[in-house]
């Protein structure tokens, strides 16, 4: 949120911190897709769904559109349109 809302706070996020946030999000997605007991597809990753703790560690939030899929499944086709056309 620092990057998009308050330009005076953008100095708090230098490029090494931003890189660590990106890596944290990628690790979170890898966990959801590969390492979790349940395979979870988030389906709504965006900046507002990434929370930062006091140490600027990224946490994925808002699992309202998430989908559980089988371990063997690599693709999922849905009939419902999600998002803006």
CB 44 within 8 A of CB 62: yes
Active-site residue, 53 included: no
Range of the domain at 43: 13-69
Task: Examine residue 21 and state whether it is found in any structural domain, yes or no.
Answer: yes
pLDDT digits 0-9 by tens, 9-59: 666 778 898 999 999 999 988 888 788 777 777 777 888 888 888 888 998
Q: What is the CATH number of the domain that holds 18?
A: 1.10.510.10
Task: Examine residue 26 and state whether it is found in any structural domain, yes or no.
Answer: yes
- Tell me the torsion sign for CA atoms 78, 82, 50, 14: positive
Nearest to 46, CA basis, from 4, 79, 8: 4
Q: How far is CA 53 from the centre of its chain?
A: 14
Catalytic one of 44, 53, 62, 71: 44
Q: Which of 6-10, 53-57, 74-78 bottoms out in mean pLDDT, i.e. has the lowest?
A: 74-78
Task: Examine residue 60 and state whether it is found in any structural domain, yes or no.
Answer: yes
Q: How many domains does the chain have?
A: 1
């Amino acid at each position: 949120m620092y990057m998009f809302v308050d330009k005076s706070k953008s100095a708090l996020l230098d490029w090494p911190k931003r890189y660590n946030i990106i890596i944290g999000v990628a690790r979170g997605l890898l966990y959801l897709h590969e390492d979790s007991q349940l395979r979870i597809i988030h389906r709504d990753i965006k900046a507002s769904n990434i929370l930062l703790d006091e140490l600027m560690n990224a946490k994925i939030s808002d699992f309202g559109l998430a989908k559980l899929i089988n371990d063997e499944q690599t693709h999922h086709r849905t009939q419902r349109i999600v998002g803006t056309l």
